[in-house]
Amino acid sequence: MSTMRTGGGRWLGVYVVAYLVFLYLPVLLIPLFSFNNSIQAAFPLQGFTLQWYTTLYGNSALSGALANSLVIAAIAATGATLCGITVSYMDLYGRSPLAATISAIARLPILIPGVIVGISLLILINLIGLGPSRIAIVLGHILVALPTTVVIMRSRFAAIPKTIREAALDLGASDWTTFRRVMLPLSLPAIISAFMLAFLISFDEFIVVFFLAGTEPTLPLYIWSQLRFPRSLPTVMALGTSILAASFVIAAIAEILRHRGLSATVPRPADPSQPKQTKRGELQWHST
Amino acid sequence: MLLPGALVTFLLILFALGLVLFLAFRANDGSLLGTGFTVANFATVVSDPLYWTVTLRSLVIAALVTLATVVTAYPVAYYLAFHAGRRRGLLLFLVTLPFWTSYLLRVFAWKIVLAYNGVLNSALIESGIWSEPTLAFLNTPAAVVVTLAHAYAPFAILPIYVALDTIPKSLVEAASDLGARPFTSFRRVVLPNSMPGVLAAALVVFVPTVGDYVTPALVGGPASTMIGSLIQAEFGKANDWPFGAALSVAVMLVILAVVLVARFTDRRFGSRT
């Protein structure tokens, strides 16, 4: 590695820093202006205030949307994680050729624009008589989060050395016992991280929810409705800052758990190909 | 044990998409599933120049976004794979973090930057480059491209990084041992070997941007209406679901064509995925 650290590498480093600035600068404007004592989001800053945060409290429409989003995200993430576990486990260890097909289809939504996922579910829920509702949103979000949970769980199961599962089976454990007592505990960090990422996906999702929401909006829908009124923009930014902070914390925990899970079972250095496969598997969205 | 996952995938994905296809061949009579069998929806999609214009515009904007995202992301992925060293984990985290923040808020942040009394305008006036604010930033297709390139950056970096990271270091060493200059070994060894990652990145950026309707609505203005906005309008204001379904099917066919071309190119580069 050190042989490649040449003058070119330093320029590349400068570029990466500039790129990170491009990545973060617009996002960091939201917290900045949320403390600014002015309706308009423009420089120069008008002084520090917390009034936009105080208006967040006691806003019943907002807290209703927040509660709604949290409940939907929790249920949808649970569903997506359960489906992700079963689909990817059967894909890797099931003997049915159907399992591989299902696993491929489960990763399909990443190749369909959100607007089409939204309308196809809208038609479906109207056909089965549900209509736009919270259940419809949950179903939609399970679908949107499914590719992520399948990819995470699949790479996790693939990284567990085959010998561990074979040992359990040789010692007389049934398929179900092996899954429950061996494979599930070994993949627990990935399960938690899949759940958290699915939770965040659902919590932030707007494009699909736009079609499926009934009378009770989710938080992104509430934000969308507020974006049209200039007077409420500072409050939206205060709300956005709170969401940013929470998302950062959840993403960081998910990331730490995922790395801990990976390093815990990376096999001895005698087998250098193993970690690479793991990394590849993590990001292989299109290995159909 | 496969049951819940299978049920969800089959019912939600395949059945729902099948419904869209079915609805696309029905005539609109105000009922949920329309009536009769007709290809009139597709005839309108094909014959009305509006849909050609908007579809073409969506493809051009998505292509520009994809190009901008992949080209700017490649050096970052390259740095991650070959130069980051101990900082790799932190850098990967920093790069993926914005992806987990609200998409609406990221688009909204760009609205703040580009608006008439926004950050970019005030910065330009403060520094004396311009004497008065300009409307030229917001509500243009360029604003859509910049905003989307920003929003999809992590999607592009990760697949390229993985592709670069799996290139055996011995290949690069062999190239330089055989007398290739750094740029030659990059062009002839590293770049071709990373093409599967580049194509995967392009796909993951291209597909959602073609159908996007939020970004054009927030920062694009009327000159950058995209096909997603038209589909959304058919299911909303226009209330012509069968026609909206036909538009969706047309968009999926276009995307399928793009994906197949990408797959074909991938194979030509000797995909290792």
pTM: 0.80
Considering only CB atoms, A82 lies closest to which of B4, B16, B153, namely B4
pLDDT for the residue numbered A244? 79
Percent of chain B with pLDDT over 90: 7
Q: Is A36 helix (H, G, I), strand (E, B) or coil?
A: strand
Q: Can you tell me the distance from the alpha carbon of A148 to that of A283, in angstroms, rounded to the nearest whole number?
A: 9
Q: What is the residue-averaged pLDDT of chain A?
A: 79
How many Cβ atoms from other residues are within 10 Å of residue A17's Cβ? 10
CA geometry: angle at A229 spanning A28 and B149, to 5°?
40
Mean of pLDDT values over B114-125: 76
pLDDT for the residue numbered A109? 81
Considering only CB atoms, A43 lies closest to which of B14, B122, B228, namely B122
List of chain B residues whose C-beta atoms are within 8 Å of the C-beta of residue A255: 93, 96
List of chain A residues whose C-beta atoms are within 8 Å of the C-beta of residue B122: 42-44
B5–A207 CB contact, under 8 Å: no
Residue B83 · residue A4 · CB < 8 Å: yes
Q: Is B262 helix (H, G, I), strand (E, B) or coil?
A: helix
Q: Which residue has the higher pLDDT, A271 or A131?
A: A131
List of chain B residues whose C-beta atoms are within 8 Å of the C-beta of residue A194: none
Mean of pLDDT values over B122-146: 78
Give the nearest chain A residue to B113 (CA atoms). A26
How is A77-133 classified by DSSP, letter by letter?
A: HHHHHHHHHHHHHHHHH---HHHHHHHHHHTGGGGS-HHHHHHHHHHHHHHTT--SS
Q: Which long-range contacts (CB under 8 A, 24 or more apart) does A41-46 make?
A: A41/A233, A41/A234, A41/A237, A41/B112, A41/B115, A41/B118, A41/B119, A42/B115, A42/B117, A42/B118, A42/B119, A42/B121, A42/B122, A43/B119, A43/B122, A43/B123, A43/B126, A44/B122, A44/B126
B8–A79 CB contact, under 8 Å: yes
Query: pLDDT of A1-28, one tens digit each?
Result: 444 445 667 788 899 999 998 888 888 8
pLDDT for the residue numbered B4? 67
Mean of pLDDT values over B4-10: 71
Tokens of A61: 């429409």
Tokens of A146: 């499914």
Query: pLDDT of A222-281, one tens digit each?
Result: 888 888 777 778 888 888 888 878 877 877 787 777 666 655 554 444 444 444 443 433
A281 min Cα distance to partner chain B (Å) = 9
A102–B9 CB contact, under 8 Å: yes
Q: Can you tell me the distance from the alpha carbon of A233 to that of A241, in angstroms, rounded to the nearest whole number?
A: 12
Q: Kindly tell me if the per-residue pLDDT of A87 is higher than 90.
A: no
Q: Which residue has the higher pLDDT, B98 or A25?
A: A25
A124–B5 CB contact, under 8 Å: no
A204–B101 CB contact, under 8 Å: yes
List of chain A residues whose C-beta atoms are within 8 Å of the C-beta of residue B182: 6, 8
When mean pLDDT is compared across A166-175, A226-235, B262-271, the lowest value belongs to B262-271
pLDDT for the residue numbered A214? 79
Q: Kindly tell me if the per-residue pLDDT of B30 is higher than 80.
A: no
How many Cβ atoms from other residues are within 10 Å of residue A50's Cβ? 11
Mean of pLDDT values over A185-205: 85
The residue count of chain B comes to 273
Cα dihedral B122, B125, B127, B129 sign: positive
How many Cβ atoms from other residues are within 10 Å of residue B189's Cβ? 17
Q: Is A253 helix (H, G, I), strand (E, B) or coil?
A: helix
When mean pLDDT is compared across A92-96, A183-187, A206-210, A282-286, the lowest value belongs to A282-286
Instruction: With cut-offs at 50, 70 and 90, classify the pLDDT of residue B200.
Output: confident
When mean pLDDT is compared across A26-35, A81-90, A148-157, B5-14, the lowest value belongs to B5-14
A27–B101 CB contact, under 8 Å: yes
Give the amino acid at A167: A
Q: Can you tell me the distance from the alpha carbon of B52 to that of B173, in angstroms, rounded to the nearest whole number?
A: 50
When mean pLDDT is compared across A51-60, A120-129, A260-269, B207-216, the lowest value belongs to A260-269
B214–A279 CB contact, under 8 Å: no
List of chain B residues whose C-beta atoms are within 8 Å of the C-beta of residue A176: 1
Query: pLDDT of B73-94, one tens digit each?
Result: 999 999 988 887 778 888 888 8
Mean of pLDDT values over A82-97: 84
Instruction: With cut-offs at 50, 70 and 90, classify the pLDDT of residue B269.
Output: low
Q: What is the residue-averaged pLDDT of chain B?
A: 82
B207 min Cα distance to partner chain A (Å) = 6
Q: Which residues contact B139 (CB under 8 A, 6 or more apart)?
A: B219, B220, B221, B222, B223, B224
Percent of chain A with pLDDT over 70: 85
Q: Kindly tell me if the per-residue pLDDT of B174 is higher than 90.
A: no
A223–B112 CB contact, under 8 Å: no
Q: Can you tell me the distance from the alpha carbon of B200 to that of B253, in angstroms, rounded to the nearest whole number?
A: 19
| Strand partners for B35 | B27
Considering only CB atoms, A204 lies closest to which of B2, B83, B103, namely B103
A1–B235 CB contact, under 8 Å: no
When mean pLDDT is compared across A120-124, A137-141, A258-262, B17-21, the lowest value belongs to A258-262
List of chain A residues whose C-beta atoms are within 8 Å of the C-beta of residue B117: 40, 42
| Strand partners for A48 | A36
pLDDT for the residue numbered A280? 38
CATH (one of 1.10.220.150, 1.10.3720.10, 1.20.210.10, 1.10.10.10) for A60-282: 1.10.3720.10
Please tell me if residue B75 touches chain A, with a CB cutoff of 8 Å.
yes
B271 min Cα distance to partner chain A (Å) = 11
Considering only CB atoms, B12 lies closest to which of A16, A126, A143, namely A143
A164 min Cα distance to partner chain B (Å) = 21
Q: Kindly tell me if the per-residue pLDDT of B49 is higher than 60.
A: yes
Q: Please, what are the domains in chain B?
A: 49-268 (1.10.3720.10)
A171 min Cα distance to partner chain B (Å) = 22
How is A206-243 classified by DSSP, letter by letter?
A: -TTHHHH--SS--HHHHHHHHTT-GGGHHHHHHHHHHH
- Best B21, B55, B72, B102 member to test A by mutation, with max A CBs in 10 Å, is B102
Q: Which residue has the higher pLDDT, A268 or B124?
A: B124
Percent of chain B with pLDDT over 70: 93
pLDDT for the residue numbered A18? 92
When mean pLDDT is compared across A266-280, B3-17, B126-140, B189-203, the lowest value belongs to A266-280
B245–A119 CB contact, under 8 Å: yes
ipTM above 0.85, yes or no: no
- Domain boundaries of chain A, sorted by first residue: 60-282
Q: Can you tell me the distance from the alpha carbon of B70 to that of B64, in angstroms, rounded to the nearest whole number?
A: 10
Q: Can you tell me the distance from the alpha carbon of A282 to that of A150, in angstroms, rounded to the nearest whole number?
A: 10
Residue A148 · residue A85 · CB < 8 Å: no
How many Cβ atoms from other residues are within 10 Å of residue B53's Cβ? 11
Q: Which residue has the higher pLDDT, B166 or B31?
A: B166
